[in-house]
Chain A
């Protein structure tokens, strides 16, 4: 199935929209170029032969010590009972002023709203086009992104020693 989806996406959005395919391992995945992510996602959702209408999960992964992050999307098609994994890799230098940036798919699936906020909160991935990208689990004035591998705990928070 995944080869067919790839062929159709390449025909629709051009060869550069899909960077690679991951065929080894238990779950195959399509590796998508960030610029065509939103178009591919809406196409996958609306296409009557696939109909990936349910976004199960969004995960941000830190590949420390490599200067690279990944965002992984797990899609489910409820009518066809199929699953699909999409991955986007972003190179980034890990500075506070320059977060890895990726377009938001919140307009395609509303599930992405909170999942993207969580990824922004804990991993520091900026989803451009998200209407309300605030921190979700940590306090709004928290500094840093705790799920990054190079994160160091602060000494104190509002005068409370936490280390």
Chain B
């Protein structure tokens, strides 16, 4: 009796697909289509070129993060967090590590140099992630050049982070209570050199896309997301800011050393069309790269003066041998390039294995608004809307 009830939604779904009207057609977009940015499958009910309904199917990249995290201790989970949003691994592990540090009560003891290095690598990673978002968005719409430019510049960041951590994308660099290693000697200089190379390139990229008439025609007034809908669906990050809401957890929670750093929060203004359209979402990301560059410059100047490298500095000094926590629960949130990344911990007494860890991925929530945004649009515009959400499937499916 009850079993039928638990199955009833699936039966209703099957019935809906079986009973589409004769002038409607069911189209599968993905999971192997490059414009879905990974293995996302969208089942579209279409009437000619018009999308009537979108049914997203997730889980093709489900790697059981929650189950892994509750079968091993906190330190061992850090490499798994890297694989959530694999385009911004530093930001993921930073969030996770902050959560454990706050539960341990050591978040105020972390040396300032460690905190500045964390912010530095996170912002480098944020630039890398936004470059991918912009580059692949261009290619979704048919602009090939920005894609090559973005990947060329991103590769410099990947090389630098590889130098620091030993790995190109999945770093395991930020540890509970400290870092894997101090920055390699000469990193600050190379980073400065990169910035002086990157800043003119960024302006060039901005000019290439933002004011391109074809790009504007494809993105302005497409996929308009009003602020109240964005909030109701739990959208965060550039998606929410593009709808005109100044909501950045780096400012609101003021975690790590962000309160000591000056930066602006770009919001959508509806310059080319309506507030909260795809162009605004794209533009917020471009503006955030400028802000990240500012943050990196400030970090570098602090890291070479007040918190300069000393011979006896040990970034692992505070790393606990065993994470001993009393029974408690804690929800940590932080600003990932895609939005609010949260981890909810439920700990257990007398063991360093948590009872439950839930990752709240920003892409998961940002994607959930797609069936609403894409109702009644053309199939070609759906690609433009999906690209502007900037999902990464590693985090949608976890």
Contact = CB atoms under 8 A, between A and B. Distances in A.
B148 to A, nearest CB: 34
A56 B234 contact: yes
B58 A57 contact: no
Interface residues of A, number: 44
B59 interface: yes
B58 to A, nearest CB: 6
Given A26-B328, A147-B66, A99 B6 contact: yes
B252 interface: yes
B59 A114 contact: no
Interface stretch (A9-17, A33-41, A134-142, A154-162): A134-142
Contacts of B364: 114
A55 B346 CA distance: 19
A133 to B, nearest CB: 5
Chain B at the A interface: SS class: mixed
Interface of B: 1-3, 5-6, 9-10, 12-13, 58-59, 62, 64, 66-67, 70, 102-103, 231-234, 245, 247, 252, 328-331, 333, 340, 342, 344, 346, 355-356, 358, 360, 364-365, 368-369, 372, 397-398
Contact of A54 (B6, B10, B62, B231): B231
A147 B67 contact: yes
A85 B2 contact: no
A93 to B, nearest CB: 13
Contacts of B369: 110
Contacts of A113: 368
A78 B232 contact: no
B283 to A, nearest CB: 22
B333 A56 contact: yes
A95 to B, nearest CB: 9
Interface in A22-66: 24-27, 29, 53-57, 59, 61-63
A81 B360 CA distance: 19
Contact of A139 (B59, B245, B344, B397): B59
Contact of A59 (B333, B340, B344): B344
If over half of A's interface residues share one DSSP class (helix, strand or loop), that class is named, otherwise mixed; here it is loop
Interface string A91-116: 00000111100000000011101100
Interface of A: 24-27, 29, 53-57, 59, 61-63, 72, 74, 78, 81, 83, 85, 96-99, 109-111, 113-114, 122, 126, 130-140, 146-147
A72 B1 CA distance: 28
A57 B331 contact: yes
Contact of B6 (A74, A83, A126): A126
A134 B368 contact: no
A61 B233 CA distance: 23
Best-surrounded residue of B58, B328, B355, B358 (most CB of chain A within 10 A)? B358
A134 B10 contact: yes
Contact of A25 (B247, B329, B368, B372): B329
Scoring A59, A96, A135, A139 by chain B CB atoms within 10 A of each residue's CB, the highest score goes to A59
Given A55-B234, A98-B2, A81 B342 contact: no
B342 A114 contact: no
B59 A137 contact: yes
A146 B356 contact: no
B360 A57 contact: yes
9 contacts: A25-B330, A56-B342, A57-B360, A74-B342, A110-B234, A110-B369, A111-B234, A139-B59, A147-B67
Contacts of B368: 110-111, 113-114
Nearest to A64: B355
Contacts of B340: 56
B231 A72 contact: no
Nearest to A140: B10
